[in-house]
Structure 1
C-alpha cells in the first residue's frame, strides 16, 4: 500500500516537531529537569516502540499542541513512571523493555562486563506452599571469588550470612557485594517422592566477594570422540557481540573443523541472549551452506514497517553470512544440530533455534525456553537517539522493544517458549559435570548421535525451580540489535 504523504504530513505534524527537536525549554537552566527527560522518553517511544499502535498516549495526534504535551509530561514525577505507563501489557506481552538511569552500566553489560562473584545459581523450593528457598550452583565462572574459594556445580546453600533464604529476602541477601553462603545437603529420605525431601543444614560456609568481571561467553568447548564419531560440544552462555568474543567464537569453530567434528551439541541452557548479529554469526558457523539466504525477518511498528517496505525492504531482512569483521567464518556445514535448553534460554538463543529450524534438523533437548521473540535497541537522548551527541546532563537511556523476529517461514510469537523435542529437566541430585559425556542432557544428545545406550532420564529428584535466577541482572533476557537505526529513511519517508 503506497504511503499517503499528504495525510502523513497532517497527522504527523507533532511527530515531526518532536523527533528531532526538544518540545520545550528545561525548567532549570542549570540542572536537567524531569520534564526534559520525559520529553526524550516520549519521543523515543513514539518513534520506535514496537507496540506503539496499542498505546493511545503514543498516537501522533494524541496532543493538539506542544503545550498540551508539556502538561502531560509534567504529570509524571519520574521518567520511569512515564516509561512504564507506555508499556503494552507488561505482564503478558512486553516483559522485556526497560529504562535505566545509568547507560554506562548498560553498555558494560552488553560488553560482558558485570559485577559478579562467579557463582551462577538457580533457586528452588519443595512445594508451592514452601516459603523457604534454596540455591543450587549451576556453574562457576573462571578466575572469580567463587572459583578461588572452591564453589562447584551442584553445591546447595540454604542461607546467606546465617539467614535462611525465603521468597521475601532472597533478592536483598544476594545483592550484597560481600556475603557468606551457608551450605546444606540434599536429603531425599531414600524415596523418589519429593514431598518428603529436605535440605539438611551444615556448618560449612564459603565467603564470596563480587568484583567487576568480564565474562567470556564461551565457557566450555571440546571435541568428544565416542563410537568413532567426533562430536563438538560448546557451552555458550551469552551472545556478547564484541569483536574479541566473536573472533574467539570463530577460532573455536576452526578447532572443531581441525578435529574433524561432524556433529555439534550447542549448550544454551543458561544463555539469556544478546546480540542479533552474533546469533547470525553463530548460526552461519554451524551451517555455512546458506550464505546470503534469509536467516530472519523483522516486523516493526506499522509506521516504520510501511516505510521500510516501501523504500528499502532489504533492511527488514537478516541473511546468513560468510565472514566476521573481514575474517572468513570457519563453518561446519552441518545439516543437524543438537541444542540443550532450559527456561533460562532466551531471546538470541531462541532466535538461533527458530531461524535454523527451516534449514536443518534442530534437535532441542531439555525444557521449554523463555519465550522472547522481540528485539530492542538502546535509545539515547540525542537528535538521532544514538550515543554520539547524547545529552551530557543525564545518563538516562531506554531499551524498548522495536521489532519482533520471524524465521523464513514466518514463525514468531512463541510467547510460551520453544518446546523441546525431548523433555529432560535438570535434577538437583543429578546435575552432573558440564561437558562430561555422562552429564544427563549431553548424554541424551550423545545417545542419539551414536545410537548406543540410553540415559536414565528419570534419575534424580525433581523440585520446583524458580522461573528465573533470583538476583539476575535487570538486563538479562535481552535480544538487541547493534546496527544503525533507519533514521535517514524515516526522515525521507515521512518528512520530505
Structure 2
C-alpha cells in the first residue's frame, strides 16, 4: 500500500489535529470538530470499499499539511465530511453511516435497543392522499407489546387519539418513548374493490413504553408434521453472534426430531454477522465441510485481508455444529427487510443445494461493513475518549464460491407472494400465507416452482417506514 505523509503525521506535526491519549483516566480533552474530521478522513482513506471512486480519498489528494487542514475545516460537522465521501449514495452505497454515539451502535449490534417491541407496515387509506393506517407485522417475544397482548395483524389508525397522516405518523409511532396505539377494524364492505374499504376506530387501545430490550433473533423455532413429513420452521430475525449457541440448539432440536425439510423465514432479517451466516449455512447442510461458503474482497489498501469463509463442523468456543445435511431449503423473503447476511445465505448456498425463495425481491445489499473507531488501528482498543463518533462504512464485497454478487436490485423469488395487511396470519402457523406456500411446495407433487400468487388488496399503496442502516447490515466481527 502506498504510504503518504498525511497518514504518518504525529500528534505534534498535525497542529491541533490530535488523537493523542493524554492521561485519559483523569484528564479527558474533548475533541474538536477538526480533530474528529481528521479521524473521518483517515478512516475512510484506509478502509472504504469505494476509495478509488472518490477523488477526495486519493492518497495524493493533499500537497501539504496546510492543504489537508484547510480541507477539513471546510466541513461544519463530521457528518458533512462523511457524506461527501460516500460513493454514489443513491444507487451504489446506500448503507454506509456515521454515528455520533458509538455506544448506541454497539447496543444495536448486540441486539439491544430501546423499543416497545413492534414493527409495522404503513398504507394509504383508500380514497385519501394523506391519511395513513399501520399494520403490526411483528411483535417481539417477551417485549412490552407482547406482554400487554398486542398481536401481529392489528391495525393502527391513530396514536394518542390523533389520526395518522403522511406528516405525523413517523413522529407519533416512532418519535416518542411512550404512546397509546388506537386500534381500528377493517371493513371491505363486501366488495373486491378497495375504494369503499374503511378503517374505523374500535375503541381498543394499548399503552406502550419503550424499554431497553435485547432480542433473541430466534423468533419461532418448531417442528411441523404435515402429511407425515417433519418440516423444520425457523423464523430468524438477525445474524447475532451472541446467540450462535441458541441457533445451534434450534438445529439440534430439528435434527433430533428427524427434520427432512426446512423453511428458513428471513422476511424480517436485515442481516448481521458474516461468520454467523457461515455457521447457519453449515447447519442447513453439513456435507460440504471445508469448502468455500463465501468470499470477501476489500479495497486496494486492504487486499491482504481478502478471505474465504468456509463450511465448518464447529463453532468457535461453542462446539460441534448440528447439521441437517439437506440438499434443498425454502427461504421466505420480503423486499425491504431481507438484506445483507440474509441474502448471503441464499447466494452462498445456491451453488451447493437447491434454494427455493418464496416472497418478494430482497433488498440487494452485497457489501459488508465494520465499525471504525478513532484509535491507532481503528479498533475499540485505545479509542480516543475525547469523542464518541464511530463509522460503519462499507469495507468489503461478498460473493459466493463462483464469485457471483447479490444483484443490486435484489434476489428475485422463485415464487412471488407478498404479505397482505388483512391476511398476515400467525407466524409459524401452517395457514400463514408464506409458510403455507412453502409447505405446499414440500408436500404437493408436481407443483410449479416459478409463479406469482396474487393477494387481495395489494393495490393499496404501501408507504415508506423508517429503516436504519443496521436493519440492512452485514458486518465483519
TM normalised by structure 1 equals: 0.89
Instruction: Report what 1:254 is aligned to.
Output: 252
Alpha-carbon shift at residue 172 of structure 1 (Å): 1.4
Alpha-carbon shift at residue 182 of structure 1 (Å): 1.3
Alpha-carbon distance in 2 for matches of 1:217, 1:170: 27
Instruction: Report what 1:124 is aligned to.
Output: 123
Alpha-carbon shift at residue 189 of structure 1 (Å): 2.2
Give the 3 Å change call, closer, same or farther, for CA 51–466 of structure 1 in structure 2: farther
The reply to whether residue 461 of structure 1 matches residue 457 of structure 2 is: yes
Instruction: Report what 2:25 is aligned to.
Output: none
Higher helix share: 1
The reply to whether residue 46 of structure 1 matches residue 45 of structure 2 is: yes
Alpha-carbon shift at residue 13 of structure 1 (Å): 1.9
Q: 1:319 aligns with which of 310, 319, 322?
A: 310
Alpha-carbon shift at residue 27 of structure 1 (Å): 8.6
Instruction: Report what 1:480 is aligned to.
Output: 475
8 Å contact from structure 1 (residues 218, 235) kept in 2: yes
Instruction: Report what 1:185 is aligned to.
Output: 185
Alpha-carbon distance in 2 for matches of 1:155, 1:126: 15
8 Å contact from structure 1 (residues 222, 233) kept in 2: yes
For structure 2, the residue ranges without an aligned partner over 5 or more in a row are 20-27
Give the 3 Å change call, closer, same or farther, for CA 129–204 of structure 1 in structure 2: closer
Instruction: Report what 2:23 is aligned to.
Output: none
Instruction: Report what 2:395 is aligned to.
Output: 402
Give the 3 Å change call, closer, same or farther, for CA 150–22 of structure 1 in structure 2: farther
Moved more, 40-49 or 16-25: 16-25
Instruction: Report what 1:298 is aligned to.
Output: 296
8 Å contact from structure 1 (residues 440, 457) kept in 2: no
8 Å contact from structure 2 (residues 416, 453) kept in 1: no
Alpha-carbon distance in 2 for matches of 1:369, 1:332: 25
What value does the CA root-mean-square deviation take over the aligned residues?
Answer: 2.3
Alpha-carbon shift at residue 168 of structure 1 (Å): 2.1
What SS does the aligned partner of 1:428 have?
coil
Equivalent residues in 2 for 1:113-262, closer than 5 Å: 113-126=112-125, 130-174=129-173, 175-242=175-242, 245-262=243-260
8 Å contact from structure 1 (residues 20, 383) kept in 2: no
Instruction: Report what 2:35 is aligned to.
Output: 36
Alpha-carbon distance in 2 for matches of 1:479, 1:340: 18
Moved more, 290-299 or 441-450: 290-299
What SS does the aligned partner of 1:278 have?
helix
Alpha-carbon distance in 1 for matches of 2:73, 2:309: 40
Instruction: Report what 1:485 is aligned to.
Output: none
Instruction: Report what 1:486 is aligned to.
Output: none
Alpha-carbon shift at residue 135 of structure 1 (Å): 0.9
Instruction: Report what 1:14 is aligned to.
Output: 5
Alpha-carbon shift at residue 432 of structure 1 (Å): 1.1
TM normalised by structure 2 equals: 0.92
Instruction: Report what 1:87 is aligned to.
Output: 86
How many residues of Structure 1 are paired with residues of Structure 2 in the alignment? 463
The reply to whether residue 336 of structure 1 matches residue 335 of structure 2 is: no
Give the 3 Å change call, closer, same or farther, for CA 287–401 of structure 1 in structure 2: same
